[in-house]
Copies of this chain bind each other. A is one copy, B any other.
Amino acid sequence: MTDQTHNPDAPARRDQLTGEGAIRGTARMEAFADAVFAIAFTLPIVEIVMPSIDRDGAALGPDLVALTPHYAGYLLASAVIGLYWVQHHFSGAIFRTTGHWFVIATVLFLTAIGFIAFPARVLAEHFPDVAARPAAARYWVVSLAVVALAWLLKWSVGVARGHIDARLEDDYVRRLMRRFRLVAAGNVAAAMLVFINWQAGLALSALLMAWLLLPPETPRYTTRAPVIEGES
């Protein structure tokens, strides 16, 4: 399909992967994704409403403390978006090129990322109300499952379309794929469980998130490992 399947160390060229538009490096796709991540990460702050300046000034302290569920929503959104950004930053070292369908899949994934702060706020801000917890938990866990599936889709399209760095060991790539399939399957299971027992679904979902916090396996190459980008 491409030169690089013959000699994995040879640099890719712009006219490879016919039918994929123009093959490009990953830099600009990463830049767009980084910007979407950064905005999704930072925007929730505008949703925290400052205590009114028309209230008694002495009430400011308690008013700021009463915003705790809002702070929790901000932190929860930061945590999940930050964690996926870390995965995305890692994957930028695994993929070497991009083509039309890979960027389309990335846009779908980013649509899910741009949305996730909303369920995070729903969960955190409605959690103090016991009657709202089941619905809030379901909304959050289902939304996380959509993100995990979109992530798996993006990853799978990238692999299927030949955008993985061909210098990586096949077994290494297979292990990564398995990890993300497990995360997606676990999230789908949590999204079903949360309708039966919301506490259990929420707990499983949180466990999977904690798993993503662990570093992925360090890349293994069939050739000498490439020099990291941006070296000077």
Contacts and interface: CB of A to CB of B under 8 A. Distances in A.
Given A38-B35, A218-B18, A132 B86 contact: no
A78 B218 contact: no
A41 interface: yes
Interface residues of A, number: 107
A157 B9 CA distance: 33
Interface in A11-38: 11-32, 34-38
A138 interface: yes
Nearest to A231: B11
B60 A85 contact: no
Nearest to A121: B50
Most buried by B among A35, A92, A136, A220: A35
B93 A230 contact: no
Q: Taking the full assembly, how many copies of this chain does it contain?
A: 4
Given A15-B218, A40-B42, A25 B111 contact: no
Contact of A28 (B24, B92, B96): B92
A25 B34 CA distance: 15
A86 B57 contact: no
Given A12-B227, A74-B115, A110-B41, A132 B58 contact: yes
A124 to B, nearest CB: 10
A221 interface: yes
Contacts of A46: 43, 46-47
Contacts of A118: 45, 48, 50
A155 to B, nearest CB: 14
Contacts of A180: none
